[in-house]
A and B are shown apart, each in its own frame.
Chain A
Amino acid sequence: MNSENSFKRPALLAAVLIVMIALPLIADATGYSALTSLATRILIYGIAAASLNLVLGYGGLVSFGHAAFFGIGGYVVGILYQHYSLEEPLFGFIPGTNQMLITLPVAILISGLAAAAIGALSLRTGGVQFIMITLAFAQMLFFLFVSLKTYGGDDGLIIRRTNELPGLNMRDKQTVYYVCLFITAVFFALLWRIVNSRFGNVLVGLRQSEKRMAAIGLPAYRYRLMAFIISGMGCGLAGALMANFLRFASPDMMHWTKSGELMVMVILGGVGTLFGPLIGAAVFIVLETTLAAWTENWQLALGFILLFVVLYTHGGVQALVSRLMGKR
């Protein structure tokens, strides 16, 4: 990273933030009010993809099962809501709730625990085997939720009302957008701290040379597990937000194709960059939406665009843009 870049970045960041804050107003004024929801989806997927990027880009660990944590986050919100609306405590003693201040931390906690368990086992392998074992765990969870009749099974769980936040009208789409925007901003600030900390440096060092790090006496396994857990928690957060936004949770959220989509977003935007995954999520979702609205054969077009990005951009959309702008 050169000095010019880091000098320019805060200004750029502020500009982007201002646009995002003004977005619902722009959307309403221009008549494209669905833009707000589209942007909400992008923010949520951006959080999930950036979380995945922590292990995938910075840590060099290709996880093909991160949809599991996304789904767990969503189901925490859904299950708590179901017990809240039926007024039956979970396991007989845990009361349900519809308060976002409770559901989000619980979703993060539970998906963190799941990530700890899955990570602890999966990190004993590496390379292609790591890809497959993470996939295996995610698929097991997928089938588990498909066969859970109490929580809707394959049909999913309808959440009639978005979780509540004190003092806010969460039935308003713009409010939900601003809540997501705020959480996204906090999330990326934290992520920035993490990747620029000693922890982040060790993680990148491990990717480049595990031997060198071992020589300094750094336990690779522990660092990687930590990264895996943090990234699982991030995906859980995104899943919980998604369940609130869609007012719906289904096993679909943890299907392997969802893991694949998250990976595609990361790669599209740029692996191992802070904001790359957010850009990738935006590109992917905008493409999917506009192509589907434009032609029935949208998958064909999307396929060719993905191919083009891999074969010709070397490092995703972010790299493409900076090359076009004449930077290195």
Chain B
Amino acid sequence: MTLFLEQLLNGVQFGVMLFLMAAGLTLIFGIMGVINLAHGSIYMIGAYAGTFVATQTGSFWLGIPAALAAAALAGVAIEFLVVRRLYGRDHLDQVLATFGLILIFNQAVTMLFGRQPLFVQMPSVLDGSVELLPGLSYPIYRLAIIVVGLLVAFGLYLLINRTRIGMLVRAGSTNREMVRALGVDVRLLYTLVFGLGALLAGLAGFMAGPILAVQIGMGEQILITTFVVVVIGGVGSIRGAFFASLILGIVDTGLRAYLPGLLRQVMVGPEADALGAGISSMGIYLLMAIVLLIRPKGLFIRNS
């Protein structure tokens, strides 16, 4: 039972990380209609900038503003220099341009920081584990990620449902032309949304630093999974991205944890392990395919 709870927490923690990435991506997708493959690069920039500052100053906490600032700046720069010219263009052009950006950022980071993965020192407050229930101890850092993720989700909820910007964002994701007709400075709105998305990706990247490897190409690893989340949740829907992230995180963790065991009861050990690993790798894609076949627009978008 405690093992199950621990796996559930693991799923939630993975889901929360995905949400930080997916929130920005779904907004950019939904409001501007732009497919931004470079979102993973921003995640990487956040991780590198934050880690670099944290290592140089010796303070993990100083890494946070550095990561956020670098990611937001990179995001705004990408929007201003490249993406702005791609609104209203074919998805294909966006794919090609942002693919080019991935190559550029990966190589630029290699040239700046070298090919060796970076080391991140975790602050001692967050190091170690706490006992949540008898027999269930859990790493503090992971709990912190869950808390931060949920806070961000709540903050986004308030921002979108309670503020004027949020209203425009909501309007924009359902009817882009309408917002323009209202005489809103769409350019500024777009830049802001892009910057916000980048900020969240940078935060995710920096938080991932101590538990993952800060290395070249770390963005592409999570990018595809994030796209899966966005599509399952429904493009443009923050709420959808939130629930889809959690579902995906839990399903993915659950499959990895329990599928080989289940298979082992019906077949020989090593084969069960290999097959189980194979199926659980496919798991999220299978889930997406099934969701799209039943609800072609995603879980949280009403089919009109």
Contact = CB atoms under 8 A, between A and B. Distances in A.
Given A263-B92, A297-B107, A310-B93, A147 B277 contact: yes
B227 interface: yes
Nearest to A134: B289
Contacts of A137: 285, 289
A110 interface: no
A226 to B, nearest CB: 20
Contacts of B227: 132, 135
B152 interface: no
Contact of A300 (B95, B96, B107, B288): B107
A146 B35 CA distance: 28
Range for the number of chain B residues in contact with chain A:
35 or more
Interface residues of A, number: 41
B289 A136 contact: yes
A300 B97 contact: no
Main secondary structure of the interface of A (DSSP, over half): helix
Given A129-B296, A132-B227, A299-B103, A309 B96 contact: yes
Interface in B69-106: 82, 85-86, 90-93, 95-97, 99-104, 106
A275 interface: no
A309 B231 CA distance: 29
B97 A310 contact: yes
Contact of A140 (B111, B282, B298): B282
SS class, residues of chain B in contact with chain A: helix
A308 B292 CA distance: 35
Interface in A120-152: 121, 124-126, 128-129, 131-133, 135-137, 139-140, 143-144, 146-147, 149
A302 B108 CA distance: 12
Nearest to B282: A140
Contacts of B85: 311
Contacts of B93: 267, 310
B298 to A, nearest CB: 7
A133 B289 contact: yes
B161 to A, nearest CB: 24
B100 A260 contact: no
Q: Chain A CB within 10 Å — which of B35, B95, B235 has the most?
A: B95
A235 interface: no
Contacts of B288: 132-133, 136
Nearest to A309: B96
B107 A129 contact: no
A107 interface: no
B293 interface: yes
Interface string B260-294: 00000000000000110110011001101100110
B101 A307 contact: yes
Nearest to A266: B92
B248 interface: no
22 contacts: A124-B292, A125-B292, A125-B293, A128-B235, A129-B292, A129-B296, A132-B292, A133-B289, A143-B282, A147-B277, A147-B278, A263-B92, A267-B93, A267-B95, A271-B92, A297-B111, A299-B107, A300-B108, A306-B96, A306-B97, A307-B97, A307-B104
Given A126-B296, A260-B99, A309-B96, 11 more contacts: A62-B91, A128-B231, A129-B296, A131-B91, A267-B92, A297-B111, A299-B107, A300-B104, A306-B96, A307-B97, A311-B97
Interface of A: 56, 62, 121, 124-126, 128-129, 131-133, 135-137, 139-140, 143-144, 146-147, 149, 256, 260, 263-264, 266-268, 271, 297, 299-300, 302-307, 309-311
